[in-house]
């Protein structure tokens, strides 16, 4: 549960924090934004387009394509996730930035295959896709001697996640256990998924650092909080009384929140392994930084990689 410091950082950032757009030229660059059909992803893609990048949207439903290129992606489906990653690696001449923004927040328990939908979309498939497109980011970095970046969209709400729900016996797969309907706490599932996402992002950054070739630019991995924004993410979920009361007072627009995402995507290698909020590097929750949180992060990563080996198509 959040400490007093976690709460004050959240309130201070939300009430007094400011986001800024970076002054960068993205001419000739290629960026991918997942979940760009609405909300934060759409606003981030607009900003990237304004800065002259070649932007690829994803959208679960591709009937209403815009002039900007749209690729189909459904993170609830492993086949779609792996197909998207394969297309990135095989078809794109370069990839300079990848913004993993797609996510869901639902009220009722629902399985996607053998996993609860929120966990599969927000954590498992998000990092399957991240690992799938990582080779193209690495290739671009080396071939063009340029910085490339992967930004995972996190959330300030990870501070309020019920971290005790991750304290599951070491012999058990955490994702499988949390997908049991009799113990799934759906009221807290979205915050929990964001906490798990932060923990996995930390592990991904460590993986990239450990496998980077000496003397060569490696891919920057960071994760960013867009702030508490009025978006359509909760379209499948009723708003709580605090949300109804506080959103008009301290909530941000999707456009305003998207600025931190664009900032993170262009902030450079100094932000590798860092959490960004209000367009600056910030501390994560006390739990994420604790020895217990780091131990659970390693377990989550191990469970995720084990599952990846089981479900990934043969190359």
Domain definitions of the chain by residue range:
4-310
Q: What percent of the chain has pLDDT over 90?
A: 70
CB contact set of 209 (below 8 Å; sequence gap of 6+): 218, 272, 273
| Residue among 17, 103, 101, 96 nearest 51 (CA) | 96
User: Would residue 151 be called left, alpha or beta, if left means φ above 0 and alpha means ψ between -120 and 50 degrees?
Assistant: beta
> Looking at residue 246, what is its pLDDT?
74
Distance CA 271, CA 149 (A): 10
Residues 6 or more apart whose Cβ sits within 8 Å of residue 55: 30, 31, 32, 33, 36, 45, 48, 49, 68, 69
Distance of alpha carbon 149 from alpha carbon 254, whole angstroms = 22
For 26, the token pair is 């993205």
Q: Is the pLDDT of residue 64 over 70?
A: no
* Lowest-pLDDT range of 149-153, 237-241, 246-250: 237-241
Task: Report whether 129 contacts 84 (CB < 8 A).
Answer: yes
Residue 6 reports pLDDT greater than 90:
no
pLDDT in tens, 9-49: 766 777 777 888 899 989 889 999 999 999 999 999 999 98
Q: To which CATH superfamily is domain 4-310 assigned?
A: NAD(P)-binding Rossmann-like Domain (3.40.50.720)
For residue 65, the model assigns a pLDDT of 37
Confidence at 217, pLDDT banded by 50, 70, 90: low
Question: Which residues, in sequence order, are CB contacts of 242 under 8 Å at separation 6+?
Answer: none
Specify burial of residue 259 (Cβ count, 10 A radius: 0-12, 13-18, 19+).
Answer: buried
Q: What letter would DSSP give residue 240?
A: P
Question: Does the pLDDT at position 66 exceed 70?
Answer: no
Asked if pLDDT for residue 215 goes beyond 60, the answer is: no
pTM for this entry: 0.91
Residues 6+ apart with CB under 8 A from 247: 228, 230, 239
Q: Is the pLDDT score of 236 beyond 70?
A: no
Between the alpha carbon of residue 52 and those of residues 47, 86, 147, 223, 234, the distances in Å are 9, 25, 17, 23, 31
How far is Cα of residue 76 from the mean position of the Cα atoms in its chain?
15
């Amino acid at each position: 549960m959040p400490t007093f410091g976690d709460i004050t950082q959240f309130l201070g950032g939300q009430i007094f924090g400011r986001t800024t757009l970076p002054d960068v030229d993205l001419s000739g660059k290629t960026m991918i934004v997942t979940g760009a059909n609405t909300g934060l992803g759409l606003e981030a893609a607009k900003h990237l387009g304004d800065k002259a990048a070649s932007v690829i949207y994803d959208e679960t439903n591709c009937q209403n394509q815009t002039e900007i290129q749209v690729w189909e992606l459904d993170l609830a489906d492993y086949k779609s996730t792996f197909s998207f990653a394969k297309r990135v690696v095989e078809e794109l001449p370069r990839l300079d930035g990848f913004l993993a923004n797609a996510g869901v927040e639902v009220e009722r328990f629902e399985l996607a295959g053998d996993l609860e939908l929120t966990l599969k979309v927000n954590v498992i498939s998000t990092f399957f896709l991240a690992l799938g497109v990582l080779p193209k980011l690495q290739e671009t970095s080396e071939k063009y001697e340029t910085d490339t970046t992967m930004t995972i969209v996190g959330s300030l709400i990870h501070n309020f996640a019920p971290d005790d729900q991750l304290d599951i016996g070491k012999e058990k797969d955490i994702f499988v256990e949390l997908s049991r309907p009799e113990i799934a706490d759906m009221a807290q599932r979205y915050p929990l998924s964001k906490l798990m996402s932060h923990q996995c992002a930390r592990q991904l950054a460590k993986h990239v650092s450990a496998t980077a070739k000496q003397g060569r630019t490696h891919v920057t991995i960071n994760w960013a909080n867009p702030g508490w924004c009025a978006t359509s993410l909760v379209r499948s979920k009723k708003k709580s009384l605090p949300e109804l009361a506080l959103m008009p007072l301290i909530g941000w627009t999707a456009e305003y929140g998207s600025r931190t995402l664009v900032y993170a995507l262009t902030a450079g290698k100094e932000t590798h392994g860092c959490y960004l909020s209000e367009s600056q590097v910030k501390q994560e929750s006390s739990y994420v930084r604790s020895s217990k949180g780091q131990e659970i992060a390693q377990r989550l990563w191990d469970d995720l990689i084990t599952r990846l080996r089981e479900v990934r198509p043969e190359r």
